[in-house]
Amino acid sequence: MSDTEERAGITRREMLEKVGKTAAGSVAFASLMQGPFAAANAFAGDRAPLTAIAGVDRVVMAPGRTYLNAWAGYGEPPRRARGRGTPPPPAENPGPPPTVTWSKESGPGTVSFADEKSPVTSAKFSAPGDYVLRCTASNGETTASSTLAVVVEPLPPAAPLQPVATTPYAIDNRLWSQRARAIIVNWIPHCIDQINRTDLKQGPGGIDNFDEAAKALRGEPHGGHKGYVFSNAWVHQTIESMSIALMLDPRGDAEIVRAQQLMRATLEDWIPRVLAAQEPDGYLQTAYTLRDPQKWAGRWTAQGRGNHEGYTAGYFLESAINHHAMTKGKDARLYNAAEKLADCWCDNIGPAPKKEWFDGHQEMEQALVRFGRLVNDVEGQGRGQKYIDLAKFLLDCRRDGTEYDQSHQPVVQQYEAVGHAVRAVYTYSGMTDVALETRDVDYQSAVRSLWDNIVNRKYYVTGGVGSGETSEGFGPNYSLRNNAYCESCSSCGEIFFQWKMNLMYHDARYADLYEETLYNALLGSLDLEGRNFYYTNALDSGAPRTPWHNCPCCVGNIARTLLMLPTWMYARGADSVYVNLFIGSTVNVTGVAGTDIRLVQTTDYPWDGKVSIAVHPRAARQFKVKVRVPNRNVSQLYRSAPDADGITSMAVNGRTVRPPVENGYAVLDRVWRAGDRITFELPLKVQRVRASAKIAADQGRVALRYGPLVYNIEKADQDITQVLAADSALAAEWRGDLLGGVVVIKGAFAGGAPLLAIPNYARNNRVEAEVAPPVAAAPAAPGTRPAPRPPTSIVWIKEA
């Protein structure tokens, strides 16, 4: 078993490293038989050692329970990963069957176990605080034990924040105006062209699939399905991207106006073609309609979990949501078709006599909740509830599967992020939706645990997730190699997850994190011109971006997520508006304290820390404006110095204020009148970031950041193997001539040569692009990685 092999519950290497350690770790376990265990051939001895594995650390909401699932036995624990690799051999010469006993090691209150003698049980806690539970295995001759940590927290606030839907908006900000322009003028038109093509060899299957499926439904001769079973996904995502792009005020930019005209014409062309492929009962997936019935017998089967039925259906629902918003509900073609599709699912899947089922690639769950909320808004409260109920049902059906698609345990008993990273964060995002909508305590505890596991053990400094050590997925705790996978879609899902946690907890730290993912891992997925993209976003990379991919799952996801800025910028409570991001813009937020508010931010952030927000309520009202106070040290994995947190010099209408700070927000509570203006400054300093000693890959290295931006050094500017002295001076400098205008970080390496660092999002824009993308003879598996090249751009710099 190698450390790059797909991860089971635990690898042998991890076991050997962790023997005897009871400190908080993901899989804490220990054996009292230290001697044989410490040897490399611990499992090949005469007697396999008795081992107890308590399980992973987690968080639980105070009135809820935590689910315990210990393992006690000899040799290696069973594997739960996808059925690849060989299962561990049975232990040689095992001892008598062990018994298990749970006990409280430490903690402020009492712990009641449902059955303290069962390895699989649950526990409840009498008071909030930090607990340690011990699981002891005994075989009558010897004992082995291991511990896990449980943080018991109070429930999240009773009323979650409400999302701010993206509606017509404007951006006036040097960084974001350029980025949005590149997406709208170049990237989306490129995606439209690719989807219209019928001759693609790489990543085929565009609008032509819908045409052929429509012919099949009409009983006409037709062609077969092209590309992956999930190739409808990028058509739906591009429709959603166009819908959002059409909500951006072009501010008179002729090229944006021209691109928007193309998008309007494309929507008029595509929508009837997509809808013509919808089956009479509402079902929609062209790979199904055009399938070989021998290979794909029916819908929603256990054998067909890999057919991405929910993945494509979910993206269709989401495209309808933003199309509905863009047309202000006047064009309901996609909305009505989405409702028909969602109804088809509701008619077939659910408690008996309907079908029990789950999809191999999650997405439908979060889409159903999002769509259910819209239906509630449009058609009245209650009408969309069945879609939200179905989302929970689909999640509750996940069990008896593998870690790869997060079906190895019931989702509410999952506390560690495992498996394919996009599937994982889409699951956790959907679970957070369910937690928000139902206030189910088990769901709340699971998503808080999964969040804690990702952010404090499996999170890159760029905000990316997924080391790629398992198939496109998460590795063990703290195993964060810099040749990371960090698929662009996982950055999107990570933003969705963090954003929903922000809604649930009203806590700015979740927005601190999604700002990090947005400005680094995701923003860097497209090149500056918007002509090429990264499927994976390694922290040290030498590969150029490419215009397309064998698996173009990210192409529309990147655009729709980056353009949905109003949703990420603001959230609303009954009497509060939350300011989560600082981007020069005009955005409308409806339904706060009985009025609508136009918010006009004026700022050059992140190039300059000064922010001004003009607040324009339709009617003068008392409400709170809560401004996020940035914290650059949310993840325990990284520490940035010098301190650059907080807000300096805040004023309202020119008068200095010292507002209280609650949950990371400066709270400005007053009667607001149109034209009231908040001004403040966010400290921007060059920071050195150092990683926890637990992350081997980053030891002896330092990363640089400036505000929300993480920086890279590039071969284009210097020898990137040089060493930076820990105490050398670093300075920020605006360079209008470089990479479309960026603040660079300048300094000198230990040898005296100059250092120049550029923002991570702008990395590898000066490498020679490939003339044509590599064309595989046969479609490669999703996520196939090009052969690694020597890095030309790195985040973590050698430090002396």
Which residues form the interface with Zn ion (CB under 5 A)?
Answer: 487, 489, 553-554
Please report how close the Cβ of residue 553 comes to Zn ion at its closest, in angstroms: 3
Residue with token string 């899902």: 493
For Zn ion, which is the closer residue by CB, 345 or 533? 533
| C-alpha to C-alpha distance for 240 and 234, rounded to whole angstroms | 10
Nearest approach, Cβ of residue 154 and Zn ion (Å): 37
Cβ distance 509 to 634 under 8 Å? Answer: yes
Looking at the Cβ atoms of 553 and 611, the one nearer to Zn ion is 553
CB of 492 to Zn ion, least distance (A): 8
CA 139 to the chain's CA centroid: 43
Looking at beta carbons only, is 29 or 548 nearer to Zn ion?
548
**Residue given tokens 């408690």 in the structure block:** 351
Nearer to Zn ion, 573 or 782 (CB): 782
| Closest to 609 (Cα-Cα) out of 710, 683, 685, 706 | 683
- Give me the least distance between CB of 423 and Zn ion, in Å please: 11
Of 489 and 543, nearer to Zn ion (C-beta) is 489
| Nearest to Zn ion of 147, 557 (CB atom) | 557
CB of 466 to Zn ion, least distance (A): 11
Q: Closest CB to Zn ion among 98 and 783?
A: 783
CB of 539 to Zn ion, least distance (A): 18
3-state helix, strand, coil in the chain (%, to 5): 30, 25, 45
Length reported for the chain:
800
CA distance 516 to 799: 23
Smallest gap from Cβ 488 to Zn ion, in A, equals 5
Q: Which is nearer to Zn ion, 424 or 689 (CB)?
A: 424
**366 near 492, Cβ under 8 Å?**
no
Q: What is the CA radius of gyration of the chain?
A: 26
Between CA 372 and CA 322 the distance in angstroms is 14
Helix, strand or coil, per DSSP, at residue 652: strand
Three-state DSSP class for residue 229: coil
Least distance between Zn ion and beta carbon 791 (Å): 22
Question: What are the Cα distances from residue 338, in Å, to 281, 283, 316, 317, 426?
Answer: 12, 9, 7, 5, 20
Q: Which residue is listed with tokens 């014409």?
A: 265
Distances (CA, A) of 357 to 364, 459, 615: 12, 31, 48
Write down the least CB distance from residue 487 to Zn ion, Å.
5
Residue with the CB atom nearest Zn ion in the bound state = 489
- Cβ(749)–Cβ(756) below 8 Å: no
Helix ranges, 459-536 (H): 488-505, 508-516
Q: How many CB atoms are closer than 10 A to CB 297?
A: 11
Nearest to 232 by CA among 284, 189, 191: 284
User: Are the CB atoms for 676 and 614 separated by under 8 Å?
Assistant: yes
Name the residue with tokens 């092999």: 5
Q: Which two tokens stand for residue 703?
A: 């990363």
Give CA separation, 11 vs 8, 64, 475, 482, in Å. Answer: 6, 31, 10, 20
* Shortest Cβ 450–Zn ion spacing (Å): 20
Query: What letter would DSSP give residue 284?
Result: -
CB 657 → Zn ion: shortest distance, Å? 44
Q: What is the C-alpha to C-alpha distance for residues 184 and 253, in angstroms, rounded to an integer?
A: 11
- Amino acid residing at 451: W
Rank residues 359 and 487 by Cβ distance to Zn ion and give the closer one: 487
**Farthest-apart Cα atoms in the chain, separation:** 81
Please identify, using beta-carbon distances, which residue of 237 and 444 lies nearer to Zn ion: 237
DSSP-assigned beta bridge partners for residue 72:
52
Q: What minimum distance in Å lies between the beta carbon of 507 and Zn ion?
A: 28
Instruction: Return the number of the residue (52 or 554) whose C-beta is nearest Zn ion.
Output: 554
Alpha carbon distance 723, 529 (integer Å): 32
SS3 705: strand
Tell me the one-letter amino acid at 215.
K
Which residue, 492 or 579, is less far from Zn ion as judged by CB?
Answer: 492
Burial of 592 (0-12, 13-18, 19+ CB in 10 A): buried
515 — phi, psi (to 5°)? -60, -40
Residue closer to Zn ion (CB basis): 489 or 564: 489
Residue number with CB closer to Zn ion (267 or 522): 522
Structure tokens at 643: 């301190």
CB of 486 to Zn ion, least distance (A): 11
Which residue, 53 or 489, is less far from Zn ion as judged by CB? 489
CB of 308 to Zn ion, least distance (A): 12
Q: To the nearest whole angstrom, how small is the minimum distance from the Cβ of residue 782 to Zn ion? A: 8
447 half-sphere exposure, CB direction, 13 A CA radius: 32
